[in-house]
Structure 1
């Protein structure tokens, strides 16, 4: 059921994106800098693109910037988790060594079998 809902959602999203693209086919100039600043610096790069490419490119760029921002923001959490994981592994090894060194073999064979579990 969820699979069909996902497919229906993707189909509706695809149709909506197609409608937006068809409605915004007119070419628009995309400039690197505003006209006054471009004249001052000499960087007059410009390109004509369909408006829907500019819209979709802005959405994709915004999502990518958000992903990178969150990845940097969560770096501290990942570092702490890695440090704690190494500490747990070290403590488990230390506990295993302590159990082996302090364990007294039971005198009864049945108790010895139970302790191995």
Structure 2
């Protein structure tokens, strides 16, 4: 199973390298469209290789998806925490009730009663 994982990683790495080599030309990134830039005094631009733009788009998309999913699952995590607190409360109550049941009895008889 480990070799299959390594093979998949290798294929993925080769594909990323091929994309990077095929898209090495520089592209001009502008912050604002030309029509809107006329209203402002500055219009910052940046020249990057196209593969960096593609990879940054993928990374930003993944991060937005992870954050979105984390917010979406908030209700599930809150419910699990509530159930965990309830379980701990009930375990304490069972322990207390078992102690009350065997109070005043011989320790050996109490142990035999618990196991049986």
TM-score for both structures, normalised by structure 2: 0.88
Q: Quick check: 1:32–1:43 contact (8 Å CA) kept in 2?
A: no
Aligned equivalents of 1:22 and 1:42: distance in 2?
Answer: 37
Task: Give aligned pairs, total.
Answer: 114
- CA–CA distance in structure 1, aligned partners of residues 43 and 7 of structure 2: 45
Q: Return the alpha-carbon distance in structure 1 between the equivalents of residues 33 and 21 of structure 2.
A: 28
| Unaligned segments of structure 1, at least 5 residues | none
TM-score by length of 1: 0.87
Is residue 96 of structure 2 the alignment partner of residue 114 of structure 1?
A: no
Q: Which blocks of at least 5 consecutive residues in structure 2 are unaligned? A: none
Q: Report deviation, 1:46.
A: 0.7
CA RMSD of aligned residues (A): 1.9
1:13-42: CA deviation from partner (whole Å, max 9, x where unpaired): 111111110000000011111111122233
Runs of 4+ displaced beyond 6 Å = none
Matched, 1:36 2:35: yes
